[in-house]
Structure 1
Amino acid sequence: MTPYNSLQRHDEAGVAIISFDHPPINLLDRQVVVDLLRLVKELEQDIATRVVLFRSANPDFFIAHYDLAGQVGEQAPVLPPAGEPSLLSALFSRFARLPQVTIGELQGRARGAGSEFLLALDMRFASRERALLGQPEVAVGLHPGAGGCVRLAQMLGRGRALEVCLSGADYDAETAERYGWINRALADAELRPFTEALARRIASFPAAGIAHAKAVVGQCTQLDSAALADESQRFVAEMASAETVKRVEWMLVQGGQTDDELERNLGALLARYPEQL
């Protein structure tokens, strides 16, 4: 198997452990998207793997967020065909439809597309001491555009989904657990042993029962495909707006997308625009 460029994969006893490893902060850029496209294609054809556990090689960042710097100075992005989601939204939906059980292990930060990737998984568990979740897109004139609005509304309900999407704030693991964003908040030292034990336990059971349970629950919680497409269409359309470009450029000048104070405290610091930090 050809190695990935931004991921690590380890397989054992029906469990695939995938670690994001894309320094400095696991930005979701083109390289990560290419690796995720390859991974999801492999998993869709994989009959030996029953559980996929996602974690990060960086204890401070799961996936920081989408690479906004790649959009500054570029031509206006091409809208997806009418009624269809963007590439990223469609990619995350493919992970949501995988035949395997998917589990997210969150030790550090997952904001924007990082949070949206976790939302597409079957289960999420987070470190009580270290994990932070957020959808900060509103601070640069955007909204969660890869399934975030739709999946948060389904999981959290209208009021809490709007709070998350419109505040752009960071949420700790205990709050996320209370809101229904994650399954459980666990002590940091207990997180990895718990997720690995759960993954091995599920993988030890007959494949038919796993598949049927996931299929039935999937039917009961199926997302509105039109809403997903509309969400991503609106996001792509706004990416090249003058206000969004201006705010993204300001964020980058302050140290955004580097392993710096702004990225570690993104939810609080983005609200201070245009103050010079």
Structure 2
Amino acid sequence: MAYENILTESNNGIATITVNRPTKLNALNKQTIQELHDAFEALAADAQIRAIILTGSGEKAFVAGADIAEFASFSVQEGAQLAAQGQELLFDFVQNLRTPVIAAVNGFALGGGLELAMSCHFRVASDNAKMGLPEVSLGVIPGYGGTQRLPQLVGKGRAMEMIMTAGMVSAEDAKNYGLVNHVVPQAELLDFCNGIAQKILRNSPTAISQAIKAVNANFEDGVNGYQTEIKSFGKCFGTEDFKEGTTAFLEKRKPEFKGN
């Protein structure tokens, strides 16, 4: 599929999606959100793809926010609809994707850009990255899940401070806060993320998808995460991957998982 605002490539089971609007610092507009959804959906349906890396083009920005010009004149109803549609189409979609998604944060991740990174399953940052939710400086609040995911990752107090000051944090501070898992030199970022993805590829795709579901359940209102874990654990026993994994262990060989 041809895209205007993103690039996709795949190699040996690992796909990379690059937001490619360098003149706009890779800012998210409606078209880019739709293209990202379409790309994630297509990759999730491809059994050959076992991990996805999301990054931004160039050396300045991962995604430097939303395209403000698109919604500056919106009404109350239009603003609420914008947030609802965006969360469903992209941010919640990525969070609940059964294929692991790693955010390779290669520069500014602000507003919707940080919200997109937070919707990924985990994050790795380049040492020049800056992260923040500056929406209150525009008279609005984060609308793509930022007020929910940021406290889950860094705690309520730090999230309140970041949101209310509209300030940015460095990559090292983000690591110390638990917002990113690793910080590496920018030139090494994609190779580092590919290294993590290679480790993921050694393991059972079906088990990983159930693990994502179980972990996410802990953060859903009205859902008992422990019960979700029990059900997901049980489902693993009906998979070919479970038979292969246990057989390989008993035979003292490396498993060859097929994802079924």
TM-score by length of 1: 0.74
Q: Which residue of 2 aligns with 1:249?
A: none
Distance in structure 2 (CA, Å) of the matches to 1:119 and 1:87: 17
3-state SS of 2:2 partner? coil
181, 188, 198: which one aligns with 2:186: 188
Instruction: Give me the CA root mean square deviation.
Output: 2.0
TM-score by length of 2: 0.78
Asked whether 1:32 is paired with 2:32, we answer: yes
How many angstroms does 1:43 deviate by?
Answer: 3.3
Asked whether 1:178 is paired with 2:160, we answer: no
Q: Which residue of 1 aligns with 2:91?
A: 92
Distance in structure 1 (CA, Å) of the matches to 2:189 and 2:143: 29
TM-superposition CA deviations, 1:72-107 (whole Å, max 9, x none): 3456653657xx961112220011000100000011
Q: Which residue of 1 aligns with 2:153?
A: 155
Asked whether 1:202 is paired with 2:200, we answer: yes
Q: Which residue of 2 aligns with 1:127?
A: 126
Distance in structure 1 (CA, Å) of the matches to 2:32 and 2:168: 23
How many angstroms does 1:192 deviate by?
Answer: 2.1
How many angstroms does 1:40 deviate by?
Answer: 3.0
Asked whether 1:3 is paired with 2:10, we answer: no
Distance in structure 1 (CA, Å) of the matches to 2:51 and 2:75: 40
Distance in structure 2 (CA, Å) of the matches to 1:216 and 1:190: 32
Higher relative contact order (CA 8 A, sep 6+): 1
Q: Which residue of 1 aligns with 2:21?
A: 22
Asked whether 1:166 is paired with 2:173, we answer: no
TM-superposition CA deviations, 1:168-201 (whole Å, max 9, x none): 0111000001111111122333322211111122
3-state SS of 2:53 partner? strand
- Shift in alpha-carbon separation, 1:195–1:66, aligned structure 2, 3 A: same
TM-superposition CA deviations, 1:26-79 (whole Å, max 9, x none): 110122022122123323433221111011222101111011112234566536
TM-superposition CA deviations, 1:121-159 (whole Å, max 9, x none): 00100012x100010001011111110010011111110
Which sections of structure 2, spanning at least 5 residues, go unmatched? 223-260
3-state SS of 1:18 partner? strand
Overall identity of the aligned pairs, in %: 28
Note the 1:215-226 alignment, pairs <5 A.
215-220=213-218, 222-224=219-221
- Shift in alpha-carbon separation, 1:23–1:206, aligned structure 2, 3 A: same
For the Cα contact (< 8 Å) 1:13–1:200, is it kept in 2?
no
Note the 1:48-67 alignment, pairs <5 A.
48-67=48-67
Which sections of structure 1, spanning at least 5 residues, go unmatched? 226-277
Q: Which residue of 1 aligns with 2:249?
A: none
Distance in structure 2 (CA, Å) of the matches to 1:156 and 1:224: 19
